[in-house]
Amino acid sequence: MRTPRVAIVTGALAVATSSVFIDLSGTSPGTSTFYRCLLAIPVVAILAVRERRSGGPLSHRGVAMALLAGALFAGDALLWTAAIYELGAGLSTVVVNAQVVILPLLAWILDREAIGRRYLYALPLMIIGIALTAGAIGRAGTSSDPVLGTAHAVAAALCYSGFLYLLRRGGAGGLVIQPYLWVIASAGIVGLLLGAAWRGVDLTPGWEPFGWLVLTALLGQSVGWLLVAIVSPRLPSTVSAALLLFTPVGALLFSALVTGERPSPIQLAGAASVLAGAYVASTVGRTAEAQQD
């Protein structure tokens, strides 16, 4: 069990670097979204070919759902990038974790899936945490526009929840890499089109920004995401949920060390409340369900 745990922590920390690298690139949301997807395609495509040979091709339904999911993933990436510049690389990554309470609500509305008691425990923690992170009380630390940044991060969480919902409905049959290839291909195109209309796209951002985007694509978009997606099913849900908190915690740490991000004490309290809500939503109910079984 130790190897999967090490792998998922490694993946979570790799994903955590994305927000810092994007911040360092200084590129527009459309530019970063387009390139982080485009540059990840060769790596993911090689792995997708291997998966197709061993597990068979993705169904037509799976491809269609992945393409739609990719459009939502583009929305998530665009909005999250905006939040990185406005709220901060670390705090924006924390707030995007609101998806753990949005996704169950989406499943309840569309599929009438029951919402467990864990949802009622997690929701107030999330709401309070998001309000504090937005600077509802006290000063906002180094965030340039905490209210708008928090709004963009919550909107990104909505898009990411829809992305996860469509992937789950896609019927991939245990395939992980092939759907993801279609997702990033779709997200790259949609990100380019929407990004051109919203804050613009620079196809020649310069070598230094391009280098940070290459690192984003290789570490966060390829290695990190795939490690998490492949290894998570091998661990108990409570364990994987806890270990995935290394992403927002790592983003807070990396942003403080690399970019000098300094959230206010109130914002840090809000981040802690959001993380607590994410942990409760991901673990409490599943533990109870396992005990009932």
Residue closest to 35 by CA, chosen among 165, 166, 220, 177: 220
Domain containing 79: what range? 2-292
Q: For 150-155, which contacts have Cβ atoms below 8 Å and span 24 or more sequence positions?
A: 150/83, 150/87, 150/95, 152/79, 152/80, 152/82, 152/83, 152/86, 152/87, 152/92, 153/79, 153/80, 153/83, 153/87, 153/91, 153/92, 153/95, 153/96, 153/98, 154/95, 154/98, 154/130, 155/75, 155/79
Whole-angstrom Cα distance, residue 262 to residue 98? Answer: 21
pLDDT tens per residue, the chain (293 residues)?
468 889 989 999 999 999 999 999 999 999 999 999 999 999 999 999 999 999 999 999 999 999 999 999 999 999 999 999 999 999 999 999 888 888 888 888 888 888 777 788 888 999 999 988 887 676 666 778 989 999 999 999 999 999 988 887 765 577 889 999 999 999 999 999 999 999 999 999 999 999 999 999 999 999 998 998 888 777 776 677 788 889 999 999 999 999 998 888 888 899 999 999 888 887 754 444 444 44
Domain count along the chain: 1
